[in-house]
Amino acid sequence: MPTDLTRATAAALADALATKTISSVEVTQAHLDRIAAVDGQVHAYLHVDSEGALAQARAIDERRGAGESLSTLAGVPIAVKDVMTTKGLPTTCGSKILEGWIPPYDATVVTKLREAGLPILGKTNMDEFAMGSSTEHSAYGPSRNPWDLERIPGGSGGGSSSVLASFQAPLATGTDTGGSIRQPAAVTATVGTKPTYGGVSRYGLVALASSLDQAGPCGRTVLDTALLHAVMGGHDPMDSTSIDAPVPPVVEAARAADVRGMRVGVVKELGGTGYQPGVRARFDESVALLEELGAEVVEVSCPNFDYALAAYYLILPSEASSNLAKFDAMRYGLRVLPDGVDDPSAEQVMAATRDAGFGPEVKRRIILGTYALSSGYYDAYYGSAQKVRALIAEDFANAYEKVDVLVSPTAPTTAFKLGDKLEDPMAMYLNDIATIPANLAGVPGMSIPSGLADEDGLPAGIQILAPATKDERLYSVGAALEAALLDRWGGPILDRAPELGGVAAAKGA
Ligand code: GLN
């Protein structure tokens, strides 16, 4: 156990808590101190709930003291993405339109965290309504990448990834509609899983695109991520798309860390042009390591993946335009009265509120989606996109006849500079070129760090994909590769990130 509790893995904290070597109050306080010291620079949290977290920690310590048997992660604190409703705690989804809204209920994922005894440190920053790859679309300002504060921590879940990479929480939650768990993990040298669609409840998640959204676990190691996956996952009668089956054996797989005899397919279409050389190099090295570990590696072609991005940017805005219709100035948060209108109509209030409350990216997608769904265009756009979606699912099915898992780089580049892609939506969208196919097909995916790119010394990620409901395979491959990379780099890749506390102290923060 490191003397600084914020540097410990969730698994190590859980063990020390179970043997009463440390208390949950100590662990929680250590993280709250760390937040106070560094979040001024990182801006990973939108809301910190010190009192609530310490109260939960005290309750867990008391229950443990009374000899109650508790769940594995009981007492380990966590950060929650602000897309998940939290009873009594603000939930803004990174939008002005939800400013001041205090949900009257918990998302099922949050209920599960509370029941398992994980103190909730606070809510993490995100692109508005989870639209983006950088957190720059947050109405509350961007989060920063702890590797370089002038760079993006990925998005939309950049708050959760930067919380982990700056040791402000040992665990965090995310949601992944097109890559928002995996891409932030890749650019910060952390780990994130998008489970099989339906594997984790969507009840209480502010919906972006309901057929693509999936909540999942974020951690600094594969085992930590598996432990959290086991807590978050499982059937929920409140979500009609939830899978009625036990959570796949993710923790066992992470502990076994065995890839011997596994068939690994390198996706031909996810690589090559557009991918940064250093990202490619770390990917090729990881694939070679998998082969050394006893996996059988082959190349697999998924020809329709070339159309995934185009299909996604029709299906997502279509569903989003419908989901966001509920922000009507009557039910939640913000209400703006139109200027210079006496006795405005409901429609005028709605228009003024949506104009003031939604940012430019959200408006862009509502307009795109409304257009794609309008009569006369529905078949040409939305209908065609749905056909492409079926073809992509077929590509996966064909691939999984030959291999057990697929691999690719997670994101085409390392973290870019804040502002670099903000004015160019297409450039921003291209960040998810490798992650989107999994959402369209509903299959699970994970990103783990693959090393640092030679050109810029920044983290790169490798993505592992598995067939639906076979999430445990991600953890077998992820944990085996993580161990091999630990040897290759002489320790966790994240240990090479600059020490923010030091920077804060030097600046007198
Ligand atoms: N970056 C993608 C988008 O902007 C993915 C978002 C997500 O997964 N929530 O749509």
Containing 485, the helix (H) or strand (E) segment is helix 472-489
333 — pLDDT class (breaks 50, 70, 90): confident
Helices H / strands E in the chain, number of each: 17, 11
Does the pLDDT at position 131 exceed 50? Answer: yes
Of 58, 112, 103, 111, whose CA–CA distance to 82 is shortest? 103
Q: Is 180 a catalytic residue?
A: yes
What strands, in cross-sheet order, belong to the sheet with 171-175?
A: 45-48, 120-124, 78-81, 171-175, 215-219, 191-194, 445-452, 459-465, 405-409, 263-267, 296-300
Catalytic residue among 133, 134, 138, 180: 180
Cα–Cα distance, 223 to 486 (Å, whole number) = 14
What would the two tokens of residue 233 be? 């996952």
pLDDT band at 501 (very low <50, low <70, confident <90, very high): low
pLDDT value at 337 more than 50: yes
Ligand 1 pocket: which of 432, 447, 463 to mutate (most atoms within 8 A of CB): 432
Return the ligand 1 atom nearest residue 312 CA.
Answer: 10
The active-site residue, picked from 81, 96, 194, 470, is 81
Ligand 1 atom nearest the C-alpha of 131 is 4
* pLDDT recorded at residue 505: 40
Nearest CA to 10 among 76, 74, 81? 76
| Sign of the C-alpha dihedral computed for residues 142, 193, 213 and 282 taken in this order | positive
Atom of ligand 1 nearest to the CA of 209: 9
206 Cβ closer than 6 Å to some ligand 1 atom? no
C-alpha–C-alpha distance, residues 208 and 340, integer Å: 33
CA dist., res. 306 & res. 502, Å (int): 45
Question: Is the pTM for the entire model greater than 0.95?
Answer: yes
Query: pLDDT per residue over 218-263, tens digit each?
Result: 999 999 999 999 999 999 999 999 999 999 999 999 999 999 999 9
Cβ of 442 closer than 6 Å to ligand 1, yes or no, is no
**Atom nearest to 313 CA in ligand 1:** 10
Burial class of residue 184 (count of CB atoms within 10 Å of its CB; 0-12, 13-18, 19+):
buried
Confidence band for 381, pLDDT divided at 50, 70 and 90: very high
Distance of CA 457 to CAs 83, 282, 309, Å? 32, 12, 28
CA–CA gap between residue 446 and residue 434 (Å, rounded): 12
> pLDDT of 133-153, one tens digit each?
999 999 999 999 999 999 999
CB 100 within 8 A of CB 89: no
Q: How far apart are CA 363 and CA 354, in angstroms?
A: 9
Omega of the bond prior to 450 within 30 degrees of 0, cis?
A: no
Q: Which of 81, 177, 430 to mutate to test the pocket of ligand 1 (most atoms within 8 A of CB)?
A: 177
Nearest-angstrom CA–CA distance, 116 and 110: 10
The pick from 131, 323, 368 for probing ligand 1's pocket by mutation, whose C-beta has the most ligand atoms within 8 angstroms, reads: 131
Q: Is the predicted pLDDT of residue 313 greater than 60, yes or no?
A: yes
- Closest CA relative to residue 32, chosen from 15, 60, 56, 64: 56
Query: Position of tokens 């983290």?
Result: 459
Q: Is the pLDDT of residue 506 over 50?
A: no
Q: What single string gives the DSSP state of each residue in 425-482?
A: HHHHHGGGTTTHHHHHHT--EEEEEEEE-TTT--EEEEEEE--TT-THHHHHHHHHHH
Integer Cα distance of 260 and 36 in angstroms: 45
- Asked whether the beta carbons of 400 and 106 are under 8 A apart, the reply is no
Q: Helices 108-115 & 222-232, crossing angle to 10 degrees?
A: 110
- Over residues 10-51, the pLDDT tens digits come to 999 999 999 999 999 999 999 999 999 999 999 999 999 999
| CA atoms of 235 and 506, how far apart (whole Å) | 49
- Whether 204 lines ligand 1, by a CB cut-off of 6 Å, is no
- Burial letters 125-158, b for 16+ CB under 10 A, else e: bbbbbbbbbbbbbbbbebbbbbbbbebbbbbbbb
Q: What is the pLDDT at residue 507?
A: 39
Contact 251/230 with Cβ under 8 angstroms? yes
* Phi/psi of residue 414, nearest 5 degrees: -80, 180
Question: pLDDT of 463-491, one tens digit each?
Answer: 999 999 999 999 999 999 999 999 999 99
For 65, the 3-state DSSP assignment is helix
CA of 101 to the centre of ligand 1 (A): 23
Say yes or no: CB of residue 361 within 6 Å of ligand 1.
Answer: no
Question: For residue 390, what pLDDT band results from cuts at 50, 70 and 90?
Answer: very high
Q: How far is the CA of 130 from the centre of ligand 1 (A)?
A: 6
Mean pLDDT score of the chain: 96
166 a catalytic residue: no
Q: What is the pLDDT of residues 49-105, one digit of tens each?
A: 999 999 999 999 999 999 999 999 999 999 999 999 999 999 999 999 999 999 999
Percentage of residues in the chain having pLDDT higher than 70: 98
Sign of the dihedral through C-alpha 191, 166, 152, 52: positive
φ, ψ (nearest 5 deg) of residue 28: -65, -45
Residue 267, SS3 per DSSP: strand
